[in-house]
Amino acid sequence: MIKLKTPNFEVCNNRKIKYIIIHYTDMNTLSSAIKRLQSKIAKVSCHYVISKKGTIYQLVNEKDIAWHAGISKWGKDINLNDKSIGIELDNNGFEDYPNKQIKSLIKLIKKIKKKYKIRKNRVLGHSHIAPDRKIDPGPKFPWKVLNRNNLSNLY
C-alpha cells in the first residue's frame, strides 16, 4: 500500500463505520484521478484508490471522513461520508475491471469488513446510495465476484 496525501477530508476520532462505498474514478488515467482527489478546488477524496494493476493507494486515514459520497442515503442513514470507507477504482466507466484490480479490492474489502464488522448488505456502489445522480461503479463492475466471495449481496 502506498500512502498519499489530500487536503480533502475531515478529522474525526470517533465515528461508526457501517458501510463500504465503491466508486470508479471516471478519469482516463490514474495520475489524473489522484490529482483530482488531491485538488483543493475539486474538494473530493476517498480513503483508497486501486490501480488497474492492483496497487492500493491510501489518501485518507480510515478514522477520518473522506469526501466521496456526497448527498447520499441508504435506508434511514443519510450523509454516508460520515459512516463509510470510500474506495475508488481506476476506471473511466466504460472499460472492464482487470482481475488484478478486483483481487486487490476483494482483499481490501475483507480487511475493512472484518475490522469494522460491516455486513455484506452494506458493501455498496455509489449508484446504490445516490441513484438519481451517480451510476458508478457502473454496469461492468463484477458484483457477482464480490457475491461469490461473500462480500456483498447486491448487483
- Residues 128 and 138: their CA atoms lie apart, in Å, by 11
Residues of the domain holding 93? 2-148
pLDDT of residue 135 exceeding 80, the answer is yes
* Catalytic residue set: 88
Residue 153 has pLDDT above 90, yes or no: no
Does residue 115 form part of some domain?
A: yes
Residue 153 lies in a domain: no
- Look over the chain and give the mean of its residue pLDDT values, rounded to a whole number: 96
Q: Judge whether 38 lies within some domain.
A: yes
Report how many domains make up the chain: 1
Domain at 127, CATH number: 3.40.80.10
User: What's the pLDDT band for 154 if we cut at 50, 70, 90?
Assistant: confident
| Model confidence at 84: pLDDT above 90 | yes
Cell, residue 77? 442513514
Q: Residue 83 pLDDT > 80, yes or no?
A: yes
* Residue whose C-alpha is closest to residue 40's, from 78, 5, 64, 12: 5
The tens digit of pLDDT for each residue in 31-64 reads 999 999 999 999 999 999 999 999 999 999 999 9
Total-model pTM: 0.97
Q: Flag whether 30 is in a domain.
A: yes
For cell 481506476, what's the residue?
90
| 154 domain-assigned | no
